[in-house]
């Protein structure tokens, strides 16, 4: 049954209740049958499940398989020292899992701290008596008493209302409190915001009073339906997660293919006698092909980004969300409280007397706003009028004290007027404010700069024009008038002026939107507010430009999926939308392969926040439902914080790609060296433990340091990268291959000098090991950001990079010079000239890569 389309009598029958409410016994039975009036949150993952989920990454699985294979052969061959290989791989995997788990728990704890722990109460009538009970014990059929300041405990069909206004921004997105009327029967297709004969769970009564019968509780309320929608929305992997998964698959195939070729060629050439050696060489190839440090590097770089963002008022709940921001193309933003202040503010005033003194005085006195320690309390429209009075240097308390109220006629939705009578220094005066069209018909005079004059048709037309001008700017307009004496007749009054209010944009948002445009992102407004208001704010913020389209939720319902998907990029504003509309809009953008971010603070934003690639909730004004649905929560509710987060996301992705380029070029060098040495030279080259050492020590630390590089100067002047694009598309794949071949040639040169020229195989292996280790340390200096590059005369890197290089050099010296490590790594002590050649060959990587950069730069020009 659609209760908003039914009479009060029919509603009471349907829920089996009366005007005197349920008895305590009936309420107890219903509570036992239907459960508590509470939103059931998403079931939290256990610590074990969280830990196991850290191992679900394809790259981690490949590493684990390599570790197991290596361990099996070490045990079969009784080469127990080789178990070190497996142990190191497992250690890296565990470190990666712990970092991810700790970060996930940190985000959860931070969000828990944002929760409001105060349990609300509700006033209900049971057995004809008013009682105060916990809101979670409210049941269908209860009669709820609503007064200013109350939170609506469940969905209600109003039975009676007296000047009742309820703020429903969290659910509908409408910034102005909705005037409720129990007598109205809404249309069958009425949108949520137009069901004025109903009150919804989570709304706040800002004015008046009313009674309502509960029609739905808990998960059956409008808020509950949204929470249920969230539970059915599946999580999508981040773009980087997809690309790394693809990389893992490619590496797995390459590992198997190359290992099979080496095994086959070695067996054909040497026979079955060398099967074990051939197989261990294949294992070495597998270890060489897999960048063991990559998962940990990616996780740590993301975690460092998360820590930095938390200091910039953004709590990230899962690590991949940081990187997803970097390729964000669409930001779908709620209006109220996100783009705007969620605070009505006077923007314009019209006074025929050219003096606002009396106009401000009437608006402030004919007003139920109260001053508290926390600030102004009351209806947002009325607090805006008082705030305007105070901002003009006046004292509200002194005004009320000098003009005490002696009578009043409250606002109602029929008259659309409010009148208060005050004792002033000049006697009693009745002050009236309300809808301009209603008040103007009750005035016969006007206050001008020449004093009180008759209200002529010319004056009426000027007032109507002034009202229209304000309304066209989406301002909410109120008129003011007065009458000498203590009459509440509201007739033959003297017109004083108009005031126009709006929930204004946050001052920093326009610059943030401009930065979004520069960065190639589209900002879009999606709101439950009226279309004219939404368009006015969107134009002011430059979200909407000439030629852009706007639509209401009703118009959206009439669009086919095909039409919406094809034309979605033409729209900049959607107004009066339902939660389902918002989800549909996000899906339409995603159908165009766009990476979508959705910001919002209301319950009505939660499903679309969940559906989006990156959901952004608000920490201060946001509902718990929206915060739990989001990937990131802004603790300052500042839209501009998102832009900083996007910049951080782009920087992180850029640094991760540098790390990937650095690591995979080294892996290519290792694989090619092993392949050439095994197939063409027929000699033992690098052992698995040597390769692991390079991959985990001389590779991983510099790779981590690259993750701390500052952002490129033009990072926010570039269009977003395509999430569907290949990780190795463009220059990255080419650079990995070219620089991998460079390293291969240098390492083979070092090996050949030791093995063939100095005729010492062990020395040749050690020289190749030293050269490859040092090449990684020096190569990292080539991959710094442009502002710190060698081409710009910056020889040394950031502190982390310099420390990584120094540590790598010292540890490599340790492996070569200490006899204990010589046994494990199969290295030997080198002469001074062998050291000189090994290091000199490694240093050659720096000019070679810089020459490559200069050639590429010249080709682009």
The CA radius of gyration of the chain, in Å to the nearest whole number, is 35
Phi, psi of 302 (to 5 degrees): -65, -40
The count of other CB atoms within 10 Å of the CB of residue 234 is 6
Active site residues: 334
What confidence tier does 358 reach under pLDDT thresholds 50, 70, 90? very high
- Between 856 and 514, the more confident residue is 514
- The H-assigned helical ranges of 147-216 are 169-172
The reported pLDDT for the residue numbered 234 is 56
- Measured at the CA of 261, the angle between CA 255 and CA 266, to 5 degrees, comes to 125
- For residue 441, which of 487, 500, 410, 481 has the smallest C-alpha distance? 481
Token pair of 164 as six digits: 């009742």
Contact 791, 850 (CB under 8 A): yes
What confidence tier does 694 reach under pLDDT thresholds 50, 70, 90? confident
The reported pLDDT for the residue numbered 145 is 94
Token pair of 770 as six digits: 């030293």
Contact 296, 92 (CB under 8 A): yes
The pLDDT tens digits of the residues spanning 736-775 come to 899 999 999 999 999 999 999 998 989 999 999 999 999 9
The pLDDT tens digits of the residues spanning 668-686 come to 888 888 888 878 887 878 8
Q: How far apart are CA 685 and CA 673, in angstroms?
A: 8
pTM for this entry: 0.68
- Provide the percentage of residues in the chain whose pLDDT is more than 70: 87
- Between 329 and 310, the more confident residue is 329
The reported pLDDT for the residue numbered 659 is 85
Query: Which of the 8 DSSP states describes residue 712?
Result: P
- For residue 650, which of 595, 728, 705 has the smallest C-alpha distance? 595
- For residue 475, which of 506, 441, 500, 498 has the smallest C-alpha distance? 500
Q: Exposed/middle/buried for 340, CB within 10 Å: 0-12, 13-18, 19+?
A: buried
3-class DSSP state for residue 523?
strand
The reported pLDDT for the residue numbered 280 is 63
What confidence tier does 824 reach under pLDDT thresholds 50, 70, 90? confident
The reported pLDDT for the residue numbered 825 is 77
What confidence tier does 114 reach under pLDDT thresholds 50, 70, 90? very low
> Is residue 237 pLDDT above 70, yes or no?
no
Left (φ > 0), alpha (ψ -120 to 50) or beta: where does 658 sit? Answer: alpha
3-class DSSP state for residue 57?
coil
Q: What contacts 296, CB < 8 A, 6 or more positions away?
A: 92, 95, 96, 99, 700
Strand positions, DSSP E, 148-269: 155-167, 178-179, 198-199, 204-216
- Between 857 and 495, the more confident residue is 495
- For the chain, the 3-state helix, strand and coil shares in percent, each to the nearest 5, are 55, 15, 30
- Provide the percentage of residues in the chain whose pLDDT is more than 90: 38
Q: How far apart are CA 561 and CA 549, in angstroms?
A: 17
Task: Look at strands 596-600 and 330-333 and give their pairing.
Answer: parallel
The pLDDT tens digits of the residues spanning 832-861 come to 999 999 999 999 998 998 888 888 888 776
What confidence tier does 440 reach under pLDDT thresholds 50, 70, 90? very high
What confidence tier does 697 reach under pLDDT thresholds 50, 70, 90? confident
Mean pLDDT (the chain) is 84
The reported pLDDT for the residue numbered 726 is 66
- For residue 309, which of 294, 326, 297 has the smallest C-alpha distance? 326
* Backbone CA torsion sign across 240, 242, 246, 252: positive
What confidence tier does 604 reach under pLDDT thresholds 50, 70, 90? low
Q: How far apart are CA 527 and CA 552, in angstroms?
A: 9
Task: Look at strands 178-179 and 121-126 and give their pairing.
Answer: unpaired
Residue 410 CA, distance from chain mean position: 43
Please give the full DSSP string across 92-115, using - where no structure is assigned: HHHHHHHHHHHHHHHHHHHHHHHS
The pLDDT tens digits of the residues spanning 526-558 come to 887 888 888 989 999 999 999 999 999 999 999
Task: Look at strands 493-502 and 443-448 and give their pairing.
Answer: parallel
Q: How far apart are CA 855 and CA 590, in angstroms?
A: 39
The reported pLDDT for the residue numbered 461 is 96
3-class DSSP state for residue 635?
coil
716 DSSP β-pair partners: none
The reported pLDDT for the residue numbered 787 is 45
Q: How far apart are CA 749 and CA 697, in angstroms?
A: 23
Q: How far is CA 417 from CA 340, 400, 433, 454, in A?
A: 28, 20, 6, 22
Contact 321, 301 (CB under 8 A): no
Q: What contacts 820, CB < 8 A, 6 or more positions away?
A: none
């Amino acid at each position: 049954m659609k209760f908003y389309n039914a009479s009060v009598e029919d509603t009471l029958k349907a829920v089996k209740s009366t005007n005197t409410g349920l008895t305590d016994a009936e309420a107890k039975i219903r509570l036992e049958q239907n459960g508590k009036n509470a939103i059931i949150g998403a079931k939290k993952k256990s610590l074990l499940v969280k830990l196991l989920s850290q191992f679900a990454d394809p790259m981690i699985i490949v590493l684990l398989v390599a570790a197991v294979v290596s361990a099996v052969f070490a045990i079969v061959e009784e080469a127990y020292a080789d178990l070190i290989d497996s142990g190191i791989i497992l250690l890296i995997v565990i470190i990666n899992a712990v970092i991810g788990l700790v970060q996930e728990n940190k985000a959860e704890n931070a969000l828990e701290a944002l929760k409001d722990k105060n349990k609300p109460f509700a006033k209900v009538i049971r057995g004809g008596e008013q009682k105060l009970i916990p809101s979670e014990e409210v049941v269908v059929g209860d009669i709820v008493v609503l007064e200013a300041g109350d939170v609506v405990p469940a969905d209600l069909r109003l039975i009676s209302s007296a000047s009742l206004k309820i703020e429903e921004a969290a659910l509908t997105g409408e910034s102005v409190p909705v005037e409720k009327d129990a007598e109205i029967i809404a249309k069958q297709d009425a949108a949520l915001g137009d069901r004025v004969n109903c009150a919804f769970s989570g709304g706040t009564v800002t004015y008046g009073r009313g009674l309502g019968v509960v029609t739905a509780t808990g998960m059956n309320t409008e808020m509950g339906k949204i929470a249920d929608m969230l539970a059915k929305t599946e999580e999508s992997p981040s773009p980087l997660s997809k690309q790394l998964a693809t990389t893992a698959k490619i590496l797995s195939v390459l590992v198997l293919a190359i290992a099979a070729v080496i095994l086959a060629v070695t067996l054909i050439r040497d026979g079955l006698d060398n099967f074990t050696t051939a197989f261990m060489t294949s294992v070495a190839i597998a270890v060489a092909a897999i960048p063991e440090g990559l998962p940990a590097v990616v996780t740590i770089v993301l975690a460092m980004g998360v820590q930095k963002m938390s200091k910039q008022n953004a709590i990230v709940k899962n690590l991949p969300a940081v990187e997803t921001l970097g390729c964000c193309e669409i930001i779908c933003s709620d209006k109220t409280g996100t783009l705007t202040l969620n605070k009505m503010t006077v923007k314009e005033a019209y006074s025929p007397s050219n003096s606002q003194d009396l106009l401000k005085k009437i608006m402030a006195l004919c007003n139920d706003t109260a001053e508290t320690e926390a600030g102004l309390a009351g209806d947002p429209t009325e607090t805006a009028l008082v705030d305007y009075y105070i901002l003009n240097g006046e004292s509200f308390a002194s005004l009320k004290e000098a003009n005490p109220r002696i009578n009043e006629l409250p606002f109602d939705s029929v008259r659309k007027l409010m009148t208060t009578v005050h004792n002033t220094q000049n006697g009693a005066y009745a002050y009236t404010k309300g809808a301009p069209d209603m008040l103007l018909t009750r005035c016969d005079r006007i206050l001008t700069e020449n004093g009180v004059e008759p209200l002529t048709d010319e004056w009426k037309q000027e007032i109507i024009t002034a009202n229209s001008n304000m309304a066209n700017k989406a301002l909410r307009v109120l008129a003011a008038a007065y009458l000498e004496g203590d009459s509440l007749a509201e007739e033959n009054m003297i017109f004083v002026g108009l005031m126009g209010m709006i929930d204004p944009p946050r001052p920093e948002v326009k610059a943030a939107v401009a930065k979004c445009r520069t960065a190639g992102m589209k900002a879009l407004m999606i709101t439950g507010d009226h279309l004219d208001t939404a368009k006015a704010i969107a134009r002011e913020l430059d979200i909407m430009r000439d030629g852009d389209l706007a639509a209401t939720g009703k118009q959206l319902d009439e669009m086919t999926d095909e039409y919406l998907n094809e034309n979605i990029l033409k729209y900049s504003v959607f107004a009066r939308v339902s939660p389902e509309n918002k989800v549909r809009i996000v899906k339409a953008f995603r159908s165009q392969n766009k990476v979508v971010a959705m910001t919002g603070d209301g319950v009505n934003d939660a499903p679309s926040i969940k559906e989006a690639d990156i959901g952004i909730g608000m920490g201060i004004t946001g509902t718990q439902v929206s915060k739990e649905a989001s990937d990131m929560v802004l603790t300052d509710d500042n839209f501009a914080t998102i832009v900083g987060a996007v910049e951080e996301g782009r920087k992180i992705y850029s640094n991760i790609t540098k790390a990937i380029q650095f690591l995979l070029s080294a892996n290519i060098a290792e694989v090619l060296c092993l392949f050439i040495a095994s197939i063409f030279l027929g000699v033992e080259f690098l052992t698995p433990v040597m390769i692991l050492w390079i991959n985990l020590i001389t590779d991983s630390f510099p790779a981590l340091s690259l993750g701390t590089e500052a952002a490129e100067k033009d990072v926010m002047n570039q269009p977003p990268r395509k999430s569907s694009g290949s990780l190795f598309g463009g220059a990255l794949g080419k650079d990995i291959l070219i620089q991998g071949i460079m390293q291969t040639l240098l390492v083979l040169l070092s090996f050949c000098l030791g093995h063939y020229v100095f005729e010492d195989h062990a020395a040749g292996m050690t020289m190749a090991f030293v050269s490859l280790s040092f090449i990684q340390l020096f190569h990292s200096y080539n991959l710094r950001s442009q502002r710190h590059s060698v081409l710009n005369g910056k020889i040394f890197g950031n502190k982390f990079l310099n420390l990584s290089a120094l540590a790598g050099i010292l540890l490599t010296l340790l492996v070569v010079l200490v006899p204990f490590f010589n046994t494990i790594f199969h290295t030997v002590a080198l002469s001074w000239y062998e050291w000189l050649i090994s290091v000199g060959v490694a240093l050659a990587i720096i000019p070679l890569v810089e020459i490559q950069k200069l050639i590429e730069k010249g080709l682009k020009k």
